[in-house]
Structure 1
Amino acid sequence: MIGRNSFGIPDRMGRLQKLDKHTFGDNFSVPVHKSIVITNFLQYPSPRFIAGDIHRIADLECVIAVDKSDDSSVEILIHLNESNEIKRLRARYFLGMFNGTGKKLISWEGEKEANTDEFLFLKPWTVPQPDKSFTFKFGLHVSAIMRTDNIWKFNFYDAIFNAENDSKMIVFKEKDNQKVRLYTHQKLMMFHSSRLPISCQNVIVPASVSMNMLEKCLQIAHGVQVHCSFEDFKKIPPIAKLLGLKNVINYCERRRIEYLNQVKITDKVFNSTFMWDRRHFLVGNVLMS
Structure 2
Amino acid sequence: MTVNCQLLLVANDIEHANKVASAVQKQTLALEKKYNFYQADSWLNKAVNNRALSQVHLEPESLAIFTRVRELSQASQGIFDICVGTIKKAATQRPQLTRAQLFAKYQDAMGLASWQISGNFLQFNNSHTQFDLGGVVKEYSVDLAMALCKKQGITAGLINFGGDIISWGRKPDNSAFRVAIQHPKVVDKICGSIALSDQALASSGHYHRQFNYGAEQGSHILAGQGVAQQVLAVSVLSQSVLTSGVFSTALSIEPTLVNSRYAQEHIKAIFIDEAMNFHQDIEFLSNTGCIKHSLKEAI
TM-score, normalised via structure 2 length: 0.25
Larger Rg: 1
Q: Which has the higher helix share?
A: 2
Q: Which has the higher strand share?
A: 1
TM-score, normalised via structure 1 length: 0.26
